[in-house]
Amino acid sequence: MLPNTGKLAGCTVFITGASRGIGKAIALKAAKDGANIVIAAKTAQAHPKLAGTIYSAAEEIKAAGGKALPCVVDVRDEQQISSAVEKAVEKFGGIDILVNNASAISLTNTLETPTKKVDLMMNVNTRGTYLTSKACIPYLKKSKIAHILNLSPPLNLNPLWFKQHCAYTIAKYGMSLCVLGMAEEFKGEIAVNALWPKTAIHTAAMDMLGGSGIESQCRKVDIIADAAYCIFKKPKSFTGNFIIDENILKEEGIKNFDVYAITPGHPLLPDFFLDEQPVIVTKKPETHELKEEEAQPSPKPRSGAVEGTFRIVKDSLSEDVVKATQAIYQFELSGEDGGTWFLDLKSKGGNVGYGEPSDRADVVMSMSTDDFVKMFSGKLKPTIAFMSGRLKIKGNMALAIKLEKLMNQMNARL
């Protein structure tokens, strides 16, 4: 972990989406220095599934050594942004750092993304970041520290990152384009940078999206907080950078990253928009070997592997699994021994079988029979398969992620 230096004592940090998760972690790190934190977030009353409000975050910030100003802010509302900025300047005398953390996500393809979701992502991610920056810039110009930090990815134009969730990528890249433009526009006055995690980060929202058990494949929010702290210590001349959390911490001399893992030693999910792991997966020699095998008579029919996998899945079903999942999955398997299979985790006791399910599937997954068997045996992570285009998903993405927990339980038996 990165130690605090006291550099941010007395500084005012305006953070959107700071009532929980990454935003709150950055706030608490700065609070340990004695910073003033403006908590600009929507949650004034407790959410039924997500812990934390602007007021509970304020109490934690004070306990950590900082001062707090909780403000109800929906970044889609320009008036709420302006009001919070005015209150911050009135209470603390100015704004030294802005963190654009508030974000909306829907990992759905073009035809399955409702206009309401498109508008939400564009208005929170791109427009909200732009308007909050615009409101803070006059005060940031007066600061000796003067940083804007957007929680957004490097601008990777590989079509892979657009094909499965085009609207989300456009909205998220809009935040990154703000970095590109504003860094140049305010060069010498304000440092404008982006920060993005190398791996999945464990938050309450991630639990809600991926279900219990997902945390073992994530790092703690502390790694983002430490990386942000590194950036805030840098001069205004450090601008226009798209920073990966692990890289900047390595530069600071951090060598042991197990301290940031929820489960040290456990494989981690790579985050979106970074090519490293998907490229490695798709370029593995075994891909070519499989093609050669398909061209030759196989001593063992592939149906054995597929049927065997479903048999083990069926043997592992229980009322607890069904109750925890509540979804019907349909698998469209291509190649030799391809076809339609289903996994019903809604009906009593659960069921698997060949053909379409009796009720409509919540999630349809399309992939090769080889990749299907590899996924359930732990040799291919669903996230990697999805991001590299080997797995196509239609339907409820949150339920698709839930299935990964069941796959992990199968690994030891396949």
Q: Would you name the residues annotated as active-site residues?
A: 168
- Radius of gyration of the chain from Cα atoms? 23
Instruction: Give, for 382, the enclosing helix (H) or strand (E).
Output: helix 382-387
Angle at 7 (CA atoms; ends 52, 226), nearest 5 degrees: 50
Give the 3-state secondary structure of residue 228: helix
3, with CB counted inside 10 A (0-12, 13-18, 19+), is: exposed
Q: Are 141 and 134 in contact (CB under 8 A)?
A: no
Element (H, E) at 34: none
Compute how many other C-beta atoms are within 10 angstroms of the C-beta atom of residue 158: 12
Contacts of 240 (CB under 8 A, 6+ apart): 179, 180, 183, 184, 187, 192, 193
145's tokens: 């520290």
CA dist., res. 23 & res. 95, Å (int): 17
CB count in 10 Å sphere of residue 186: 19
Q: In angstroms, rounded to a whole number, what is the distance separating the alpha carbons of residues 404 and 381?
A: 8
Pairing between β-strand 351-354 and β-strand 339-345 as defined by DSSP bridges: antiparallel
Enumerate residues 6+ apart whose C-beta is below 8 A from 93.
Answer: 12
Q: In whole angstroms, how far apart are CA 109 and each of 44, 71, 124, 211, 396?
A: 32, 34, 19, 22, 11
Strand partners, 353: 342
Q: Of 333, 403, 402, 399, which Cα lies nearest the Cα of 366?
A: 333
